[in-house]
Amino acid sequence: MSVDFCGLELAHPVINGSGTFDALAALGAFGEVLRSEFPFAAYVSKTITLEPRPGNPPPRLWETPAGLINSIGLPNKGVAGYLAEDLPALAILLAELGSVPLITNVMGSTAAEIAELVEACEARPEIAAVELNVSCPNVKTGLDIGADPGQLEEVVRAVRPLTGKPLIVKLTPNAADVAACALAAEAGGADAVSLINTLRALALTPVSRGGPSALPEGPWLGGGTGGLSGPAIRAVALAQVASVAERVSIPVIGMGGVSNAAHARDLLGVGATLVAVGTESFRDPMAGARIARELAAIVG
């Protein structure tokens, strides 16, 4: 089941969606189990910004009947903190595992900010590829870049020469024409696109059974709106991945509601080269390994 992805040799086609699996925290929680069967063939970091961010105020999660709305708001140490503290620890873990390349996901609100992030990643050999998050639905910056093909092409074109590493553009599903955005990323020089990020969603403060809630009415999540993921978005993901894969010539990483091998096979069947597991890893941290194993059994 090994796959060549932009020149990286992966043991199988299953990776994680950015921000859905903290490998260092998982190492602390699961130790040897994680070392003996790491769930993903490549590891994608959470989104890193130039400056440290505390993230959104709580509540940050809301469960829907078939999904999860998150409004995490990019909490991270900033690029300097990530490179100094997380990257060395991640590099040791991934090196111990053999060949699990590290993909670092970054987000900036301007081309200049994104350029600085890409340059910082370029300077570190531990990072195998860079993923640009132009699709966060929770923070105003980034949304416009990813949803507007003209701006997206301009940004990708501006940062492309700054790295020799594979450059992946993670697309937003909250755009009028996702295939047009994918084509714009490709025209700007992206080596691959990944999709879908979460769908913009709103949860309201629940009314308690006995009558109106004691909590104030209005949006439940501290950040206001959030992003919907999980089984609820799988059919949307399948449609968007199919329409993008039909139009672009670069590899596509498909994700959205994958919780078993049949779901992964569907995304590969409509043209994805790799499949990412996201929300399911919160229920079962070893889901990636299970899906990769089952996928090998059903597709050979």
Using the contact rule CB under 6 A, the part of the chain among 66-74, 108-116, 250-258, 287-295 near ligand RRO is 66-74
State how far the Cα of 88 lies from the Cα of 134, in Å rounded to an integer. Answer: 26
Count of Cβ atoms closer than 10 Å to residue 84 Cβ: 11
Residues 170 to 199 in contact with ligand RRO, rule: CB under 6 A? 197-198
CA atoms within 13 A on the CB side of 169: 35
- Choice among 6, 121, 136, 181 that is catalytic: 136
Provide the minimum distance between the beta carbon of 130 and ligand RRO in the complex, in angstroms, as a whole number: 15
Alpha helices, H only, 132-284 = 140-147, 149-159, 178-188, 234-247, 261-269, 280-283
Which lies closer to ligand RRO via its Cβ, residue 52 or residue 269?
52
Using the contact rule CB under 6 A, the part of the chain among 70-78, 177-185, 213-221, 235-243 near ligand RRO is 70-78
Contact between 19 and ligand RRO by CB under 6 A: the answer reads: yes
**CB-CB contact of 288 with 276 (8 Å):** no
Provide the minimum distance between the beta carbon of 191 and ligand RRO in the complex, in angstroms, as a whole number: 20
Provide the minimum distance between the beta carbon of 294 and ligand RRO in the complex, in angstroms, as a whole number: 26
Round to the nearest angstrom and report the end-to-end CA distance of the chain: 7
* Encoded tokens for 71: 């409004």
**CB-CB contact of 284 with 290 (8 Å):** yes
State how far the Cα of 195 lies from the Cα of 83, in Å rounded to an integer. Answer: 26
Which lies closer to ligand RRO via its Cβ, residue 16 or residue 295?
16
- Active-site residue flag, 181: no
CA atoms within 13 A on the CB side of 43: 25
Residues 101 to 120 in contact with ligand RRO, rule: CB under 6 A? none
Among 74, 238, 241, 289, binds ligand RRO (CB under 6 A): 74
Among 16, 45, 70, 281, binds ligand RRO (CB under 6 A): 70
Contact between 16 and ligand RRO by CB under 6 A: the answer reads: no
One-letter identity of residue 9: E
Which lies closer to ligand RRO via its Cβ, residue 70 or residue 259?
70
Provide the minimum distance between the beta carbon of 251 and ligand RRO in the complex, in angstroms, as a whole number: 20
Of 136, 159, 165, give the one whose Cα is nearest residue 55. 136
Of 291, 277, 292, 290, give the one whose Cα is nearest residue 19. 277
Which lies closer to ligand RRO via its Cβ, residue 19 or residue 265?
19
Residues 211 to 250 in contact with ligand RRO, rule: CB under 6 A? 227
Contact between 136 and ligand RRO by CB under 6 A: the answer reads: yes
Q: Which residue has the tokens 């990776």?
A: 15
* Encoded tokens for 56: 């959104």
Residues 28 to 47 in contact with ligand RRO, rule: CB under 6 A? 47
Which residues of this chain interact with ligand RRO, rule CB under 6 A? 19, 47, 70-74, 133, 135-136, 138, 197-198, 227
- Active centre residues (catalytic): 136
